Structure 1
């Protein structure tokens, strides 16, 4: 039996994603109604520039008063795709207060203030869905929240930013430098005019915070995530990775510590072996590798950005939220019962690939090796090359605490025989 009164949806934002959500709601209206059990239709569309033509959106639905729209008594679900912290935060909490559930793609807000939003949803008996906040169309949030709810997730390792993956892929496949690859990404629409959020790792760090919180049932904020971008990655780093049988990726890594008493979350460039599943992720695609006790190793792969893929995730959440409204039920809320502390980056056990510009004379290698030994870091391999007084040492370490590796690098910089530390990169995925 289908209910005749339609469920009403307030859409906040009608840009690339919002306009696609509106289009799919219109063109697939009959299918959505059949899947939900009731018709679903737009109650209003809040925008900043009402005079802009929006194909497929009834101008009568357009408003600049988003606050009034979310307070309407007939609104069942609010879809927020405007992004940013404010006014999104106030609009979402107001929606909860007035009885609406919320579907959002706002990774920045969730990473910054997710617990507050979850508490507001719980208080008012509403749903908060956010599949689109991480990796767009790739089903990832729901599997972690629901499908793996009975399992113990130990590690989440992934490529969660398409722009940076495109840049690194171009550097690897064509030999382009960072600036050249960034220009191509911008020309193709993968990078914004201001690419800072992507290339400095802020976007990936927000997603890492969300994933770590879900996977480990622990509140993880953006400030808890160690973050490094890829602006310092050079063509020489890419070439060195190839010589090691590796490729370079910007990775989001969330994992339990060895003793299980804390978790870590970090984003940084890393070399990974070509045999690792993530090494073959090309162009602007995303992929996330999940390791758990019972399910073992799982990989989620697909387009991680763009209007249509993101809208797909939003519509999936919308169907779930509408079904719950219709049946008087609620979806999963926040699960933060574990309350594990987040360890600092210095306690993370990892490996380093270090390139040193050194003087070409006897005893240099011994001096460098002694410095590593003094800081408790074991060397795995060393490659040395030199010509006409110039020499390079490329050192790959065994696993050690990141703090010990960082201290080693600082000590190396102080050696008279080391003219410079050309590059430092972690090695992961082995």
Structure 2
């Protein structure tokens, strides 16, 4: 066991906080590894064990392990924008438990399931509020804890998330090609013959993880070593085929946006941006001019071309639940009608307005803008800031098309942004760790 001096996070050059108490290095290693596994498993929101998601279990386990490891030591300081969002979730949840929305209004609401069929509301305000609040605060916290224990933690968490998304995407494309039905066997999620959800609860969630993971994979593909480039390239291809297999129109459109943003903001690509642009243009010309059948097939797969009854049905459902979300907001514009409706309007921002009114919408915007500002300010200083900024921005844009308000997989990039400027653990002489405690047995 060792003691360490930690600099005040508000001032990287001092003053120093009191020496940290000794901690259990075995717990420290277990906590950091569990954090990595949390990042990998978070994209698998459709794979349940005894009714629990693996990512949720690992998240809470990592938090408990860090609490035991750093007992008596200063905890990381979460940014104010994280606390602001967490506080609004708590306030809205408590408000609707104390003063519930008029039952007569709730009884006449339009509730539609994933298949477009009328159904009844089964979620509860308190249950959704707890599910929502814990990861918003706990996920940035475990990433910051991990970063304090090893300088490579955020990098590994980022790659872990991209890896988890790639695994889900691989199972999805295998299902679409008819090679394997393992995805549905593991999740029980039934899909059409031309769409797959991978290890998520719906194809649109698969597209969400792939869109946010693409900048992370492209960053790794531009690293100096051959192993990193090959790994990053493989992960990037997996995200592309994942969106293709999901059949998500929004995912396909935003995937183009985040790819362009990655090429512009990641320094290694700026030097070859003209070449990349030329290759992309040639690829598009080949697919849509030289081989128009290929282009039409791609557009059909992501439901952006040709007649498709599922697109018409999807648009009708989106319009119906979106209109209900607006009615919910008008009924109670300050705090909404309760978090039990948070997954219904097919637009995260309307979902926030419907379930939590202006309170929750403002909290969500503060959280999103806070993460973008933090990563944006570090674009020139922190190597992970460019891919995380693009991932968070892509997620924020895609949120206007999807219903991922309360699902923690949508907040991984923002949680990593919160930890970007976390001060790593320092030795007694003030030097940052140069090796990983997982590898050398220290913590």
Give the TM interval when normalised to the shorter protein.
under 0.3
TM-score normalised per structure 2: 0.22
If the length of structure 1 is used for normalisation, what is the TM-score? 0.22
Please identify the structure whose Cα radius of gyration is greater: 1
Higher strand share: 1
Higher RCO, 1 vs 2 (CA within 8 Å, ≥6 residues apart): 2
Between Structure 1 and Structure 2, the one with more helix by share is 2
